[in-house]
């Protein structure tokens, strides 16, 4: 078994118990204080996430959120000597970004991508129905499994009264709604993340998956996104004056998403309504899944 020394013994034991003997750990990502490995043994596979330093608090909160949400795919977690870990079932299936790869390459058969977008909306609607927001929806945070979409990276998932931690800065900056960007800029805590802010990010995720670009046309507003710090970008986004990118590779889909990105939060659809609108505007029939 290959066991990177940074993995706490309790996490290695949990991974071996879950996956079985001949455990092999393959690094998937390593960034911002946490590392994810795919663990594979003779019995099965799992994702092991270990947070260190600033990432420890964040990973510990993610494990606590998965417990509070009774997430089916949660296996275990813990904190040892300032290192937090969580073990989850390995979710087999493409991310939303991956499902949309043929679309970005110019495919004209769009039924599968459209169904995936609606499935993602249903998963977010399910989280909202449970009283939570994800607060960091991204093109890679929905995994399209054979039994539906699972949302991952719930480190910033929140409900009123939940400990948000000090480091929350709104999640992926490019998918921040103007009102959430404004709330981050003021610095008041806790930052109230509404389902409407999640729906903005959800529309932005689908927009990005379809176009290959983040939704905001920074350059058109005279902003160089590479030169700007995240704090600067949030200040610009908070004005609500950055236009949306002009390319329209899939107008029927983008016509549904555009008002979500432009309208005031009170006028945005719910996640479930957004999923239904995507289905209704589609040329081809959609396979619908019940909201969990």
Ligand X SMILES: Nc1ncnc2c1ncn2[C@@H]1O[C@H](COP(=O)(O)OP(=O)(O)O)[C@@H](O)[C@H]1O
Residues in the site for ligand X, rule: CB under 6 A? Answer: 28-29, 31, 34, 36, 47, 49, 73, 88, 90-91, 140, 143, 152-153
Residue 91 contact partner, candidates Mg ion, ligand X, none, CB within 5 to 8 A by sort of partner: ligand X
Nearest approach in angstroms of CB 36 to Mg ion is 8
For ligand X, the closer of residues 31 and 226 by Cβ is: 31
Give the nearest distance from C-beta 240 to ligand X in angstroms: 27
Cβ 93 to ligand X shortest distance, Å? 8
Token look-up 């455990």 returns: 23
Under DSSP, is residue 173 helix (H, G, I), strand (E, B) or coil? helix
Considering the complex, what minimum distance in angstroms separates the CB of residue 156 from ligand X?
10
Burial grade of 151 (CB within 10 A; 0-12, 13-18, 19 or more)? buried
In this structure, are residues 164 and 137 in contact, taking their beta carbons and an 8 Å threshold?
Answer: no
Measured from the CB of residue 283, what is the shortest distance to ligand X in angstroms?
31
Give whichever of 55 and 178 is closer to ligand X, judged by the CB atom: 55
Q: Which is nearer to Mg ion, 153 or 198 (CB)?
A: 153
Query: What would the 3-class secondary structure string for 95-140 be?
Result: EHHHHCHHHHCCCCCCHHHHHHHHHHHHHHHHHHHCCCECCCCCCC
Q: Which of ligand X, Mg ion, none lies near 74, with the C-beta cut-off 5 to 8 A by kind?
A: none
* Least Å from the CB of residue 75 to ligand X: 9
Contact pattern for Mg ion over residues 73 through 102, marking x by CB under 5 A: ------------------------------
194 binds, among Mg ion, ligand X, none (CB under 5 to 8 A by kind): none
Closest to 27 measured CA to CA, from 47, 9, 8, 45: 47
Q: Is 3 within 8 Å of 25 (Cβ atoms)? A: yes
- CB neighbours of residue 9 within 10 Å: 9
One-letter-per-residue 3-state SS of 54-107: HHHHHHHHHHHHHHHCCCCCEEEEEEECCEEEEEEECCCCCEHHHHCHHHHCCC
Q: Which does 84 bind (CB under 5 to 8 A by kind): ligand X, Mg ion, none?
A: none
153 binds Mg ion (CB under 5 A): yes
What is the contact surface with Mg ion in residues (CB under 5 A)? 153
């Amino acid at each position: 078994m290959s066991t990177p020394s940074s993995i706490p013994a309790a996490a290695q034991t949990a991974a071996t118990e879950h996956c079985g003997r001949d455990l092999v750990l393959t690094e998937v990502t390593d960034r911002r204080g946490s590392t994810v490995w795919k663990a594979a043994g003779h019995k099965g596979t799992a994702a092991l996430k270990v947070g260190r330093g600033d990432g420890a608090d964040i990973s510990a909160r993610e494990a606590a959120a998965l417990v509070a949400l009774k997430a089916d795919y949660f296996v275990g977690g813990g904190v040892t000597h300032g290192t937090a870990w969580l073990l989850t079932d390995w979710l087999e299936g493409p991310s939303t970004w991956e499902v949309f790869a043929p679309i970005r390459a110019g495919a004209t058969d769009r039924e599968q991508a459209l169904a995936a977008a609606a499935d993602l909306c249903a998963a977010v609607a399910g989280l909202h129905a449970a009283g939570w927001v994800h607060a960091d929806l991204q093109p890679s945070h929905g995994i399209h499994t054979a039994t539906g979409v699972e949302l991952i990276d719930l480190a910033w998932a929140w409900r009123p009264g939940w400990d948000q931690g000090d480091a929350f800065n709104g999640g992926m900056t490019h998918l921040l709604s103007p009102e959430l960007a404004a709330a981050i800029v003021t610095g008041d805590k806790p930052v109230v993340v509404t389902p409407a802010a999640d729906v903005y990010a959800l529309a932005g995720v689908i927009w990005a998956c379809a176009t290959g670009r983040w939704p905001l046309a920074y350059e058109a507003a005279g902003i160089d996104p590479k030169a700007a710090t995240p704090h600067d970008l949030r200040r610009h986004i908070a004005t609500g004056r950055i236009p949306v990118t002009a390319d329209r590779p899939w107008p029927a889909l983008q016509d549904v998403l555009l008002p979500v990105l432009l309208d005031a939060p009170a006028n945005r659809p719910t996640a479930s309504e957004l999923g239904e609108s995507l289905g209704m505007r589609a040329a081809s029939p959609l396979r619908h899944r019940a909201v969990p």
